[in-house]
A and B are shown apart, each in its own frame.
Chain A
Amino acid sequence: MKLTKTLLATTALTVAAGTAVTAQDMANSMTIVSWGGAYQASQDNAYVQPYLAANPGVSATWDESSAEAVAKLRAMNEAGNITWDLVDVVASDSMRLCDEGLAMEIDHDEMLAAAPDGTSASDDFGDLIVSDCFIPQIVYSTTFGYRTDMVPAGTEPPSTVCDVFDLAKYPGKRSLQKRPIDNMEWALYCDGVAKDEIYDVLGTEEGVERALAKLGTIKDQVVWWSAGAETPQLLADGEVFMGSTFNGRLFSAIAEQNQPIAMLWDMQSFDLDGWIVPAGLPADRLARVMDFLKFATDTQRLADQAAYISYGPARTSSAPLVGKHADLGIDMAPHMPTDPANAGNVHIYDYEWWADNRDDLDAKFQSWLAQ
């Protein structure tokens, strides 16, 4: 008797839980925020189009505002009017959004699909879940590319990141991102600081001066970029000999546009990109987004994305499924930043450290640039 009651109650609960997420209660449109360009196209191809095909009547709008995501979410929150449903941000922004309560906390195991072999989502993503609000998507890296036809005759092509600072061996302009992050670390590394001491050194006044002095040796040969598309353009023009940018951009210039450019994987700076759900969404929109997320972040979908762009899928279980490029038919695995051949010497940038020192170092860096 008691048992049947319990059973009945459980069934009722399951039914109730089941009906809670039927299509009727879900909003029919989503606004997804991303970076635009080839990256957004890869997300559209791998996640959104298949989802829309499986859910007729649902529509998705892209907003290319990820670069201003934190600022805009903060203002939306101030105004109490959240117009975005899902936002693609880099890891450091996700931490900032989570800290400020602008992003929703995610129970990864509850809300996301497990790996095909049954590994829970949180184990599958592993350490890449850098904040409670963050659903990792890809691992990308900021690394260098160089013009193969501009390597001086009789010289080996560049092989280490320190060749960036070697103007005697490799004359020509370089392009670097107009921010202290990564550049300061590379400068210290090439000034002889051991990899695991970089942040200790950078934390001191002398360390900052040392990094800036090292950067100063190439300052008049540097073109500073702020948008990801700039370095590939500068390389294609032959305007710079080598430059840092996101590895996917370089892949596209090399493989899709056939430019005489090669990758330099040494000391590539790993970073993550992923989804956050803005806090305070109405129930129907939230239900739709969570339904989409469960689909879009499963093992197969993450591997699918790699067919369009050379960023490593964030799930461990996706790695073996990475196939060939959708149009070119080349194997994508060797172009991933996470490929063992490329990840021999990597730089893992310290989010916490930068969250603290960013304002200060940025002021110093900008004032150094302006002088």
Chain B
Amino acid sequence: MNGFTLTPVETKPLSFALPVIGAAGAFVGLFVGTAHGSGLMGIAVGAVALMVLGYIALAVFGLGQEKITRWGVIALFIVAGVLLAGVPGFVLGLLFGLFFSWFIFWIGEGRYRANLAPYLTSGQVLWHYTFRVICGAIFVFLITPILVVMPLSFNAQNFFTFTPEMLRFDPAGYSLKHYKDFFTSNEWQQALRNSLMIAPAATLLSVSFGTLAAIGLSSEHVPFRRAIMAILISPMIVPLIISAAGMYFFYSRIGLQGTYFGVVLAHAALGIPFVIITVTATLVGFDRSLTRAAANMGADPVTTFFRVQMPLILPGVISGGLFAFITSFDEVVVVLFVGSANQQTLPWEMFTGLREQISPTILAVATILVVISIALLSTLEYLRRRSERLRGMSPG
């Protein structure tokens, strides 16, 4: 992405750059201004300040001293932030400083055109970036709730509330006690163990049955294909509360309620649709002549499956497996009904935690899980890129 430019970069005239930078300044100024009493003042001050800053950066120092100028802008913003709002101001100042130090040069030097086709009109360029800002906002929407709860897990109090101490960044407002609670409490550790015992078993069941069935379903001559598909997908479409209650009564009657095996079976059933969907999707693109070729060359069906078919549909199986795993790992409604004291999983523990005593330990657990899943997802991505590189494919 950064390796090449589509359009040569050219420095924009100040008559274009300064008003744009000023407008951005006015926008930020509006908020800072209203926070301090007068929005209009904020707009005026923000616009003027940023235009001056932009002029100094672009016209006085210029490209040659870009690095130093950038640091200067950041420092200025931090100082302004601290003067206006203390410690929180420091953080905000840093963020705004980082943004504007980049923005001034991005606009002033016309870098925004570098990755776009040269024939685009300015309207299209504007739309291009507006669209990205919209997408960015949606990503913020997706991720903010998770980012918001993370600091709360360090709350020194037993509530889901940003205390005044926390907002002042007072160390007394923060504590690791909820993490300590998670690592030392028998219940949480047992719940973790239960989750780690139930989810893989359920995943294994749904992946092995599901993959076989998906292969069967992908053959052209299956009678009642639609009906069978509907039945296999049903655990996904039946509202969970109905499934949970139904399983509860039924499993009680056959002695599976409250057993490890019962919970695994229930979770496996819930995970099956995901495996079926992903694996059949991979099989749509599967070339049947490969299995025929293998059979022709004397491989028996089992060998064909493991040596030819499996490696090709493996991505589908893995992603189905991941979905099945998450389904079980994050499932609370069914386990509450089908499980008993000995099968309390992490979500169960969280649920009763939320109901009986709101404690940020839940958030500490969530933070740990989020960190683990970020690490997992990044590792997967890294491995994927490495294998692509090794296979000589360009990483896009």
Contacts and interface: CB of A to CB of B under 8 A. Distances in A.
A touches B in complex, CB < 8 A: yes
Interface stretch (B24-32, B91-99, B152-160, B382-390): B152-160
A257 B158 contact: yes
Contacts of A370: none
A229 interface: yes
B358 A233 contact: yes
Interface in A114-149: none
Given A76-B252, A78-B252, A237-B161, A31 B341 contact: yes
B175 interface: no
A75 B157 CA distance: 39
Interface string A20-40: 000000000001010111111
Contacts of B352: 36-37, 64
A40 B187 CA distance: 12
Interface in A234-261: 236-237, 257
Contact of B258 (A36, A37, A38, A83): A83
B357 interface: yes
B396 interface: no
B341 A62 contact: yes
Interface in A253-298: 257
Interface string B344-377: 1000000011111110000000000000000000
Contacts of A53: none
B252 A63 contact: no
Interface of A: 31, 33, 35-40, 61-65, 67-68, 75-76, 78-79, 81, 83, 227-230, 232-233, 236-237, 257
A346 B255 CA distance: 46
B160 A233 contact: yes
A36 B356 contact: yes
Interface in B244-268: 248-249, 252-255, 257-258
A241 to B, nearest CB: 16
B34 interface: no
Contacts of B159: 232-233, 236-237, 257
Contacts of A76: 252, 257
Contacts of A62: 187, 341
Top 10 A-B residue pairs of the complex, sorted by shortest distance between their CB atoms? A37-B356, A63-B341, A79-B252, A37-B357, A36-B356, A227-B355, A236-B159, A64-B352, A36-B352, A229-B358
Interface string B226-255: 000000000000000000000011001111
B154 to A, nearest CB: 16
B303 interface: no
